[in-house]
A = this chain, B = another copy of it.
Amino acid sequence: MSSDKLPTRDKILKASLYLLETGNGDGVRMGDIAKRAGISRQALYLHFATRAELLVAVTHYLDKLHGTDQRLAASRAAKSGVERLDAYIDAWGNFIPEIYGVAKALLAMRDRDEAAAEAWDARMQDVRHGCAAAITALRDDGMLSEDYSQTRAIDILWTMLSVRNWQQLTIQCGWSQKEYITHMKSLARKVFVKA
């Protein structure tokens, strides 16, 4: 392993990420992670009290690796509201496949594990802020359709862009990533941009 000299915490994060991203995302157990990181299962608990806590840390690690904040923030550079909507869909939509392994594991825990649910919801709240910014920009341009209140428009965009929907459309329905992005953009325009 090339990570022999990394601090243990980083070895754990790296190992978790590897297992989450390769494999199908199923069955990444604490023991599996420990083995991959080359430490004992108990050493894991020295660094992360629970599996949920570890998974949350992995999402943060992932964000740092991919520069999520910057990439999402980039959509704010767009001039018009419509461009900004497009840019946001581009940024977030192309981000989903990169985080999918981790997202899937967190999502699977969501229904049972309080901590995992909170962690996931917190991250989705960030996405919601991005959606809100895009919708607000549209409204400020006077281009937001009058069919929905601003809040409802945000609710809809946020729901449209959920990881679950991405999963259904790409993985289940077989859309290519490119198709996903273009269709989502077209959808968003039809729904939100004043005719």
Query: A interface vs B, CB < 8 Å?
Result: 26, 104, 107-108, 111-112, 147-148, 152, 155-156, 158-159, 162, 164-165, 168-169, 173, 175, 179, 183, 186-187, 190-191, 195
In the complex, A84 Cα to B127 Cα: how many Å? 34
A195: B residues at CB distance < 8 A: 195
A111: B residues at CB distance < 8 A: 26, 104, 107-108
A168: B residues at CB distance < 8 A: 158-159, 162
Most B-side CB within 10 Å, residue of A148, A158, A187: A187
Known A147-B186, A158-B173, A190-B190; 18 more pairs at CB < 8 Å = A26-B111, A26-B112, A107-B111, A108-B111, A108-B112, A148-B183, A152-B183, A155-B169, A155-B173, A159-B165, A159-B168, A159-B173, A162-B164, A162-B165, A164-B165, A165-B165, A187-B191, A191-B191
A152: B residues at CB distance < 8 A: 175, 179, 183
Shortest Cβ distance from A64 into chain B, in angstroms? 27
In the complex, A76 Cα to B76 Cα: how many Å? 46
A147: B residues at CB distance < 8 A: 186, 190
A191: B residues at CB distance < 8 A: 187, 190-191
Chain A contact residues, majority secondary structure: helix
Shortest Cβ distance from A54 into chain B, in angstroms? 18
In the complex, A160 Cα to B13 Cα: how many Å? 35
* Cβ-closest chain B residue relative to A151: B173
